[in-house]
Each structure stands twice: as C-alpha cells, then as structure tokens.
Structure 1
Amino acid sequence: MDEDFDIPAGDEFMDDDEIESGAPVTMKVGEEKEIGSGGLKKKLLKEGDGWDTPESGDEVEVHYTGTLLDGTQFDSSRDRGTPFKFTLGQGQVIKGWDLGIKTMKKRENAVFTIPADLAYGEAGSPPTIPPNATLKFDVELLSWVSVKDICKDGGIFKKIVKEGEKWENPKDLDEVIVNYEVRLEDGTLVAKSEGVEFKVEDGHFCPALSKAVKTMKKGEKVVLTVKPEYGFGEKGKPASGDQGAVPANATLQITLELLSWKVVSNVTDDKKVVKKILTEGEGYERPNEGAVVQVNLIGRLQDGTVFIKRGHDGTDPLDFKADEEQVIDGLDRVVMTMKKGEVALVTIAPEYAFGPNGSEQELAVVPPNATVTYEIELNSFIKDKESWDMTTTQEKIEAAGKKKEEGNAFFKAGKYKKAVKRYEKAAKFIEYDTNFEEEEKKQAKALKITCNLNNAACQLKLKEFKQAEKLCTKVLELESTNVKALYRRAQAHMNLADLDLAEIDIKKALEIDPDNKDVKLTYKVLKEKIKEYNKKDAKFYGNMFAKMTKSSANKAATNEAEPMSVDSKA
C-alpha cells in the first residue's frame, strides 16, 4: 500500500449510496461483525482509545498488513517500518478501507475482510492480487488529523495541527488575537503577522480568516486550504508593503493560530449597551436584581475625559444595589451579567446613561446625549434572597410585600418594565403555599391578587395585551368576582379585537358593581366599537352580495342565447 502499490478508488465498483457509511461499531475483542451491507467484515483485535472516530476528509495514519484468503502476504507497511498516510473518504484507497477505517478509534487494531466489489474487483491488481479476490487487512489506526470543510461548500478546508483549549469559539462581535502565515500553493510567502487583533465580523486580510476563527478554540493552530472565493477571487491582490502579490484565482495555504480573544456582547436588545470582557471572572454566579455589589470603575467620555473614578488611586470602591436605580441603567444591566473578579469595558449610549440632560459627576460634567465608557471590575456581590433561600413562610410573605411596594413605586414613576419585574418576583415568593398556615394563606392570596392585578395594569401600559389577559385570568381563578380583573381583562380583549369576550367580562363586572364609573365608561366605548364593527361587517357582506348579484345577472345575460338555459322550460 505504499506509493508503488496502486490502490484504485472504491467508487470504481460501487457508489456511496449503495452501502452504509462507516460509523462507530460497538464490539468486543475477538468479535467479528459486518460493516454496512456490502459484505465488508471487521474483527476486533485490540480496543482503541476514547470514543472519537475519523471522518471523511481527515488525514489518517495507519500500519497494515494485506493478505489473500490463503494467507499469502502481498503488502505490509510494518515490514517497511513506515506508516501509511492518506485522506479518508476521498477515493485515495479502496472502498473497503474508506468504509472500515471510519469505524475505528485511535490505536485500535482490527482485521477487515474485504470482498472484491470493495477492493480491486474483476481486474484485480496483477501480479500480486488476482481477479475477484477477497482480501484481508490487519490495520492499526495510529492517529489522524481532523480536516473539516468549514463552509460546507469546499471553499475552506481546515486541518488542525494543534488542539485548542475548552470548547468555546469566538462570535462575530468578539475581538480575536491571531498569528498567521499565508503562502501560495507553490510555497511562495505572501504575508506573515504575529499578534494581530481584529473584530471577527470585520475580518482581516481575506474572508477566510473570520470564517475560520469562528470554528477555533483558544490556542488552536490550523492549516487552511482556501479557494479563491474566500481569498482574493478573480482579481487577486497586488503586492503592497511587506505583503506579496496574490495572482487571480489563487488557492491559498494559511497557517492560523488563535492566541486568545475578548468576548464582546450586546447587553441590551437594541445594541446600545456593549460589553467587552478584559479579564474573565470566577465561577458561574452573577448578581441578581437587588444584589448588593461592590465595583471598581473608571468612567470616561468619548474624548477620554475621566468623569468618575472609584477603587483606583486611593479612592473607595462603589457599592450599590443592582436594578434599584442607584446608578445609571446601563451599569445596572451590565453588572448583572458579570462574574466575581471580571473586568469589562462597557460602552453605554445616552439612553442608558445620562440622557438629554447630562450630569455633573465627581470629576467632570457629562454633557447632554453623551455616550460614555466604563472600565468596571466586579469585586464582590451578595445576591438578593430567592424564595428557596428563605427558611420561614412568614419571611416569604414579608419579602413578597416588600417587592410589591417596590413595584408600586416604579409604577407610579411610569417605569412599567421595572415594576413588572418586582410584581413577578413578589408572586414567585408565595407561589407555593401548601405549607402556609391558614392566616398566611389568606395573606398570600391577597398578595397574589394584588401583584397579578398590578402586573396586568403594567402590561396594558406596555401594550402586552395577551400577557395582561393571562394575569387577569389568574386572579379570577383565585377570586371569580374581582371587578378589577374583569375590567382589565375586558380592556385586553378589546385591544385584541375579541369584542364578544370583552362584552362578557364587562357585563359580569357591572352585575357585581353596577355603579362602577370606569366599567360603565369602558362599556360605552365597547358598544361603539361593536357598532362600528357591525357597520363594517354589514358593508363587507353588502358589497359581497352586490358582486354576487351582478355576477349572476351577467351570467344570466350570457345564458339567454343558449338553447338549454336553466329557465328555458319554464
């Protein structure tokens, strides 16, 4: 099987879809099994390491001995003392090899019995292999280098030459630091750089680099085979500075090493608070709403002016409660994404900073509509208690009452999203009340009703009508005669154009409280909506009827000349 021994591609005898592809096969030492449905057999001589098996495109290295069924040896890499290397699944060896070696683990040893259809067929390989010969190969899989078609279009093949650490890969917003070397297929050096930093989505040198780094781990080193569409295409690239020229339609060989990267993420959905991690934090815990946090920070304007400094140059760290509006909204949001010891650079747009009014800070004035940056380090935090941290039922009721009051304060200030969070947390504290005493159950029920009703009022303000409807239904399950719940659910139904359901709720509310001015006013509005809807409905069907009448008249006129029209015998 060395270069002098001609091994034809297996697809000369059988197409890929005619036989099952190779896959890990569970076997015991000494056991023999058929691989696929083409007559290929495998007998395990020695178990391999781990669970991984090579895939098509991987560069494998094996030792083997090949014999005829009568035991006649015709080839052996072991005798030559040199392992055999080839690319799996590319037709470089007989089909039986491509299929069988895909089932092997590293350092596994097996004997494959390969029928002629998966070997050399009717022709054989004179003078050593006769026609229609079934062959046996004693194969040991020494190792393999993974080669991946990372874009699934044959444009970039990646061969890993040094494994990376952990499992994370960079994302589009992340800033990576790499070493790379670019050569043409003939070995001509085009470019070489060390310690280059770039944002993944912005790319660098050619499109292949950003595509490849998104598949790599920290410390990983690869060799890329890059087709022109991911290099410099039909135009190529002229020489410039210390970089050589790339001819038109050139395939490139790029050695790329991912040294490290800084994780960059959007803290808010509108991408106006962006965090770049400079130093990773510890563990997995992060502050929750209401956590007491301590940070070191330096705040800067875009021109570099420092307007606040805490925990540096002898200044005290900053202590505050997360999500309690003790700092600007952007800092509140960022700190709840951080781990202890994490250092991050945060860019905050005016909407989440000091807004149109600006602010007079400790060291400088922040002008109106200023985007600001903070370098922030989370020293420590004490999480606000969750319900499962509380030891007594009364503690849960008191905590729920406190969160409800916080929600009320935010509601009065028009900060409905923050109010929603408080009402939801309050309800969670007392969600499970099976262990409560009777008096505590009454207290919990009253709190649940109030929190869900107030939350529904927030959802109506936020135009989240479906959510408002669900919250009111929860209340009515606890207290079927609650007028506020019926009234607010009717408002939700009206905004969802469910006018019949809205009318049912309004009528029931008026049965319970006939003099309620708000309910009566809403019923008046509802009646107008129903009236307007009925008019549109009547107009729609009227137009439809007119069109149908006109269509029938036209058809009747057309049929007058027909000898067998519908009315001809009348």
Structure 2
Amino acid sequence: MVISCDKSDSFLRIGTKGLLKKIIHEGISWQTPIPGDQVEVHYSVSLEDGGYFDSSRDKETPFTFKLGQKEVIEGWDEGIASMRKGERAIFKIPPQLAYGEIGSPPLIPPNSTLIFDVELVSWYPIRDISGNGGIIKKITREGQGWATPNNADEVLVKYVAKDESGNIISKSDQGLEFSLTNGHLCPAMSKAVKTMRKGEKAELYVKVSYGLSHCRNEISTMDEVKLSTSNLIICIELVSWKSVVDVMGDNIILKKIMKTGEGFDRPNEGSLTKVIYIGKLEDGTIIDKKGSDEVPYEYICAEEQIHEGLDRAIMTMRKGEEASVKITSESISHGSKAGEWISIAPLLFEVKLIDFIKEKPFWKVDFQERMKACEKNKLDGNILFKAGKFQLASRKYEKECNLYHKLIYLEASKIVEYKHSFNDEEKIQANYLQSSCYLNNAACKLKMGEYPEASRLCSKVLELDSFNVKALFRRSEAYMRTSDLEKAEEDIKRALALDPNNKDLKIKQRELKDKQKKYVQHEAQIFSTMISRVS
C-alpha cells in the first residue's frame, strides 16, 4: 500500500487512485487488519459539498463486514486496511473508489466524492486454516507470546461445538486434554489448535468434510446421523499445552515435558547424572524405581546402566526438568540390568533430572589425563565386545578415536602457539592407542557384517603402521566376505611374510584357497550352462 503526504490540507495519500486520509485520533496498537478479517467500525458519511446523510453512531450499532471481500466500496477496503484498533480518521474517497459515474440515487449523485468519518472499533483476524475453505478460524481474543503447539504436543482446551441450527453437539467447560497426534472430536480441532497461542480464543466454522469423520464415542449415534449433513461451529480456547519431544524422530521414544528445566545445557555421553524416576507398565504396575529427593540416583549417561530409551530421553532434558517418557517399541536394545524388560512394551517413565556434571572439557586436561580417558573407553569397549554387545562396543571405540583426534588437534595447536609437540614416548603411546582403537572397531564391524567399514578401519591402521599383521588379517577377512578375493590373497601373503608361523593366518589362507576353488568351479558351471544353451 502506497501512503504519501498531501501537504496542502494535511491529508495522507493512500494508494494511487486518489484516496486521502487524515488521522484525528491515533490507534492503540501497531497491527492493522488484512483482507479476510472481520472489522467493526462506526462511521458518518456526507457528500463533499453537502451534509451527513448516514451514520452508524445514530443507530448505536457498529457496522460489521469482511475486509477485502468487496462487501463495501473499494475506498473503504483500501482505507480501513491502513487503520489500527481505536483509530479515528477522515477519508476523502473519490468517485472511482466509491459509486463512480452512476452514483447511488437518490442520496449519492453521479461522480460524487464522499467524506467518511470512520473509527475502527475492533477487528477479528479470520484465517483459512485448511486452505480450501473447509476450516475458517476467527480469532476473538489474542493469545500470549508467539509460540504455538507442535504436532505431537498435548493440549488443554475448553470448547463448545454446535451444529448449524445452534444445537450443542459436544462441549467441555472444565477443560479437556488430548494429544494433537490422536485429535479429538474432529480433524478441525487439531488443525486449528496448532495455529493458536496460549490463552487464545477463536470461532471455527467447519465444513462437513472436516467434521464428522473423526468424532469420538462421546457423541451418540443419533447425533452422528444428524451431523453427517451439518457443518459445525466450534468456540474454542487454548488454555495451555505440554510439549512432546520425539527423541529419536521415529515415534518410538516420546518425552512429554511436565515441568520446564533451567538453562540450555543438557547431559551428554559420559555425564555424571542425578535423577529420580519410576518405570511402569501401561496398567500402572511399577517395574523399576530409582532415587529420591533426599538421595537421587547417580549414573553415567550412555554406559548402559539404565534402560537405553530412558537414557536417551534424559540426554534431551535440562536441569530441573520433569518429564513423562513413553517407549512404544521392543526394538530398543537393553543393558544387562534391564534385560527383564526386553519383551515388554510400551513402558512409561516419570523422571526428574536433578543435576548433571559433564565430562571435563578435553582441552582442560593434560596429555596423560587425555590418554587415560582414551584408554578407559578402549577397556570399556573390550568388556562390551566380550559380552557380545558389538554395537555398543563400536560406539566406545569410535568415542576413543574422537578423543584421539582432539588430542592430535590440541597438540598441533601447541606446536604453533607454544612451539611444543609430542615427545617420542608420547608419539609412540598415541599411535599405539589410535591403531588399537581402529583395530578393535574393525573387529566390531566384522561381527556386525559391516565389511566395507571394517576394511576402511584396517586401512587406517596400515597408514600408521604398514607392518601391522592384525590389520592385514582383519582386512583380508573383510575382503573375503565381499568376495574381493584377489585383495584378500594379497593381504594374507603380506601378513605371512611378516609372521610366517602365524597359525591363524595359515588357517585363513586355506579358507581363502577353498573359496577361490569354489569360485572357479562356480564360474566354470556358469560358462558350461551358457555354451549348452547356445548349442
């Protein structure tokens, strides 16, 4: 909208068709209505060269219309769109934005310029929620803040639903709580609530297609028959909502925040964490309980000390946060202490994060402390590997590798800043640790069937130590699993040249020869079949 100042008579020029506006009383907000909004105005109107001939003030009832829908003259649609609530202004509307060459006899002659004294009493935003006119929302009271509920959140609403004849179909004066995922009453409820702010009130005008199909059992069969051909009018208030977080992004672990925590920090792997929690079955049976206000339960995150799904949820929480966690799948892996839950789903946890201490930042510890941290992850990984928990073991080795890379980065920085680098003993220690990390992780990957990743890790070891027999052995095994027999043979030959008496290598060499022999026979059979078909 173009607004300029006409200095000759203190009018503002609006648009490009000659509409003039002079404000005589400022509005009380910064917002202005937009096309589709329902506005209420008081007005008086006169001809430019005559007296008043119409006024809503005389009738003591504001005039109501929808802005931008051509329900009024074009000058009104254009001018009132520039007003704020409570504003009063004089509009000079030229004929082309009023009644034009024809006029509106007998009161308005042809080519008349009209003078309107307009006050914007109020306006209600009207939005097409569905985008096709199926759900129209009129905001009757603005909400607080800017946030709106997300798809999985649980909301508390008050509402009254009526049919077109004004008959009450369903209502909840005391407030009703439901999940936006499941919905309530009809699809329009969930769609509309996701656009509302806390405390907002609205009227929904709902077409049949968004009404009956999802009605709940609280509506009688008779009502359903009546509603099948009826649109709905729903007066709704969003009282509050509880945020629900999809922890893994697959709807398996859902965390409902009951009380917001403080700050922005959250526990991570290795954090010493203090919690209180109760684990239940769906029927309310308590199956686990840890900690109290006096003595919280302490554990290390990602160390398989509690149910894995609960552990992951806790790592999304902030200090002081209270939450309800629902785990709906049996596919979540469990530690030995939670083994009895493997066949039980869903599980419900009520948990409070009392406090947590993250691991000391890597750059704040000296070399030997860093090496001890790496070594600890390696030993933890070894224990998990022996227990057959290859995926968890692999995570430990990967964490060890990450710590090692931080170690290298920090020492490289010291070379620049402090002219300091590893001494010979530190270099040997660090290289051994890195090689061990890659080799152990490669063993995990072989167990899990991730053969290309296993060969990649072994290659990293050989970049550090080209004479590493274990790396050649494990890489040959990975190559054999992917039928890359030539590369497997090359690695075994290199390894035997370094360690001719290694029994495991000789067994692997015999296994390779058997596989090569079977492969040759298989190729010969295929060739023979092809020849017979040709002849």
- Give the aligned partner of residue 12 of structure 1: none
User: 2 CA distance for matches of 1:149 and 1:123?
Assistant: 35
Distance apart, 1:62 and its partner CA: 6.5
Cα distance per residue 1:72-100 (max 9 Å; x no partner)? 99999899898765333433345676578
Q: 1:396 aligns with which of 370, 374, 384?
A: 370
Is this contact kept in 1: 2:306–2:335, CA < 8 A? no
* 236 and 453 in structure 1: CA distance in 2 versus 1, 3 angstrom threshold: closer
TM-fit CA distance, 1:539: 8.8
Q: Deviations over 1:4-52 (max 9, x none)?
A: xxxxxxxxxxxxxxxxxx7xx89999999997xxx56899989999986
TM-score, length of structure 1 as denominator length = 0.68
Say whether the 8 Å CA contact 1:453–1:484 is kept in structure 2: yes
Question: Is 1:419–2:397 an aligned residue pair?
Answer: no
Does the alignment pair 1:382 with 2:362? no
Question: What is the identity, as a one-letter code, of the residue corresponding to 1:447?
Answer: L
1:333 and 1:71, CA in 2 relative to 1: closer, same or farther beyond 3 A? farther
Partner of 2:176: 196
Indicate the residue corresponding to 1:438 in structure 2. Answer: 422
Matched, 1:294 2:274: yes
Letter in 1 for 2:398: E
CA 1:264 to 1:495, structure 2 compared with 1: closer, same or farther past 3 Å?
farther
Deviation (angstroms), 1:484: 5.4
Residues 244, 455 of structure 1: alpha-carbon distance in 2 compared, 3 angstrom cutoff:
closer
Q: Distance in 2 between matches of 1:471 and 1:103?
A: 67
Change (3 A) 1:300 1:512: closer
Alpha-carbon distance between aligned partners in 2 of 1:187 and 1:387, rounded to the nearest angstrom: 68
Query: How far apart are 1:377 and its partner, in Å?
Result: 1.7
Q: Deviations over 1:322-361 (max 9, x none)?
A: 22222333432332232222223334566659899988xx
Note the C-alpha offset of 1:143: 6.1
Partners of 2:101 and 2:515 lie apart in 1 by 86
**1:343 corresponds to 2:314:** no
Is the CA contact 1:490–1:503 (under 8 Å) kept in the aligned structure 2?
no
- The verdict on how the C-alpha distance between 1:92 and 1:310 changes in structure 2, with shifts beyond 3 A counting, is same
Deviation at 1:535, TM superposition (A): 6.6
Distance 1:322 1:186, change over 3 A: same
- TM-score if structure 2 supplies the norm length? 0.71
* Structure 2 CA distance for aligned equivalents of residues 167 and 494 of structure 1: 59
Q: What residue in structure 2 maps to residue 151 of structure 1?
A: 130
Report the RMSD for the aligned CA atoms in angstroms. Answer: 5.3
TM superposition shift of 1:474:
5.0
CA offsets 1:498-520 (integer angstroms, 9 cap, x no match):
x4xx7457636644654544764
Moved more, 348-357 or 476-485: 348-357
Letter paired with 1:381: F
Match of 1:14 in 2: none
**Compared CA separation, residues 235 and 340, structure 1 to 2 (3 A):** closer
Choose which of 498, 507, 516 in structure 1 pairs with 2:490. 507
Matching residue within 285, 293, 296 for 1:317:
296
1:225 CA drift (Å): 0.8
Paired residue total:
508
What corresponds to 1:250 in structure 2?
A: 230
Q: Distance in 2 between matches of 1:489 and 1:136?
A: 90
CA distance in 1 between counterparts of 2:489 and 2:87 reads 76
Shift of 1:228: 0.8
Gaps of 5+ in 1: 1-21, 360-365, 550-570
Matched, 1:454 2:440: yes
Residue 136 of structure 1: how far off its partner (Å): 9.9
Hey, what's the Cα distance between the residues in 2 that align with 1:246 and 1:331?
47
Amino acid at match of 1:201: T
Task: Return the letter of the residue paired with 1:420.
Answer: S
Supply the AA of the counterpart residue of 2:263.
G
> Hey, what's the Cα distance between the residues in 1 that align with 2:524 and 2:34?
68
Shift of 1:429: 2.3
> Structure 2 regions of 5+ residues with no counterpart?
415-420
The letter of the residue matching 1:276 is K
SS in 2 for 1:438: coil
Q: Which amino acid aligns with 1:206?
A: C
**Identity across aligned pairs (percent)?**
42
Residues 87 and 350 from structure 1, CA distance in 2 versus in 1: closer, same or farther, beyond 3 angstroms?
A: same
Native 8 Å contact 1:238 1:246 kept in 2? no
